[in-house]
Structure 1
């Protein structure tokens, strides 16, 4: 299970409406060793996923799926390479 599927949700009042989806995929082995370790830690202990920063009600959250498991992570805790894999698509 080396593939991560990413969906970005939230943001400024749900900007984009119901037809704009923000999704991406990345292969875990394509990430830097530090980013791989970060993702492994997030999946290993979801209870230790940091909370969103106070006062950032409009911040994005990332739903990251690996195999059958999905975790939700605030934007500030997601490695840049994973965030950058997400593209906006009209459906």
Structure 2
């Protein structure tokens, strides 16, 4: 369960439409200890650690999967190294 799969969703009117996917992967052990702690806290209780800000309906959200467990959190809660792992691909 060391590998995280990431998908960026949402944005302005669902940016990119149904054919553009924004995905990435990162190894948990490649993250700094602070980022690892952030990830652990997000998986423990995403709503407590990363409440959705009001008035940001078009903000990006990130689905992060570790093993069989997936969480969805607002962009502001995601460490930069995880966000930077995401690349846009046409499907």
Q: TM-score, normalised by structure 1?
A: 0.95
- SS in structure 1 at match of 2:58: coil
How many residues are matched? 91
Aligned to 1:23: 23
Is the CA contact (8 Å cut-off) linking 1:12 and 1:58 kept in structure 2? Answer: yes
Deviations 1:37-58 (A, max 9, x none): 0001111223424222211111
Q: Would you say 1:86 and 2:86 are equivalent positions?
A: yes
4+ runs deviating over 3 angstroms: none
Segments of 5+ residues of structure 1 without an aligned counterpart are none
Q: Secondary structure at the match of 1:29?
A: helix
Ranges in structure 2 where 5+ consecutive residues have no aligned partner: none
Deviations 1:24-49 (A, max 9, x none): 00000000110000001111223424
RMSD over equivalenced CA pairs, Å: 1.0
Distance 1:41 1:68 in 2: 17
